[in-house]
Amino acid sequence: FGFPNATSAATQPVIVGDWVFVGSTVGRVYALDLRSGCIRWTFDAEQTVRSAPIIARENQQKGVDYAAYFTDRGRYLYKLNAATGKLVWKTEVGTATSRSGATPKLYKGRLYVPLTSGGGAGGADPLNGCCKGRGAVTAVDAESGKTLWYTSTVRERLLPGTSS
C-alpha cells in the first residue's frame, strides 16, 4: 500500500479480523482491507498520527460496535467508529509544553495517555535552552472523551525560567 502525499506510515499497523488500521505522516488514518489493500475509509487528524490505533469493542446500545482510539503528534486524542471512520469525539490531552507521543492504554473504560515534553530539541539552540517542559500522563473517559485527571511525571520543581 502506498501512502498518498506521505513519506510512510507513522504508526505500527493494527490488524483486527480482516481490517488493517494505520496512521500516516500527513495525519491520515486508514482502515484497509487485509487481503486486497483497498481503502475502507480514511480520517484526517490535525497532525501526524503517532500512536498505533487501539481497536476496542464498545457498548452496542450507543450504535458503535468497535471504536478506534489514537493520538496525533500534537495535543489530540480521537475516538472513531472503527467500521465507518466517523468521528465520535476529539479531546485535547496535551498542553503548551507536552504532547502525545505514544500509544494510549485502554483499561476498564479509561484511556491512559502518555505525554512527552515538547522541548527536547531546544538544546541544539544555545539561545533557546533545553528541557523546558516535562512529561505527563492523563486519564480520559473512553465513552465521553472527558479528561478525568492529568499529572506530571516529574515532581521536582523545574529550574528558573522553565515551564511548570
Q: What pLDDT digit, counting tens, does each position of 1-24 carry?
A: 787 777 767 788 999 999 999 988
Residue whose entry in the numeric block shows the C-alpha cell 490488524: 15
Please state, in angstroms and rounded to a whole number, the distance separating the CA atoms of residues 39 and 29: 10
Mean model confidence pLDDT for the chain: 83
User: Do 115 and 105 contact (CB within 8 A), yes or no?
Assistant: no
* Residue 140 pLDDT level (bands cut at 50, 70, 90): very high
Give the DSSP letter string of 26-86.
TSEEEEEETTT--EEEEEE-SS-B-SPPEEEE--GGGT-SEEEEEEBSSSEEEEEETTT--
Q: What is the pTM of this model?
A: 0.84
pLDDT of residue 129 exceeding 80, the answer is: no
Dihedral Cα 22, 55, 66, 100, nearest 10 deg: -80
* Residue 99 pLDDT level (bands cut at 50, 70, 90): confident
The amino acid occupying position 134 is R
Which one is predicted more confidently, 102 or 43?
A: 43
Neighbours of 109 (CB within 10 A): 11
64-68, 78-82, 152-156, range with greatest mean pLDDT: 78-82
Please list, in sequence order, all residues whose beta carbon lies within 8 angstroms of the beta carbon of residue 8, skipping any fewer than 6 positions away.
Answer: 24, 25
Please list, in sequence order, all residues whose beta carbon lies within 8 angstroms of the beta carbon of residue 71, skipping any fewer than 6 positions away.
Answer: 49, 50, 51, 77, 78, 93, 100, 101, 102, 103, 104, 113
Q: What is the pLDDT of residues 45-64, one digit of tens each?
A: 998 888 889 999 987 666 66
- Which of the 8 DSSP states describes residue 7? S
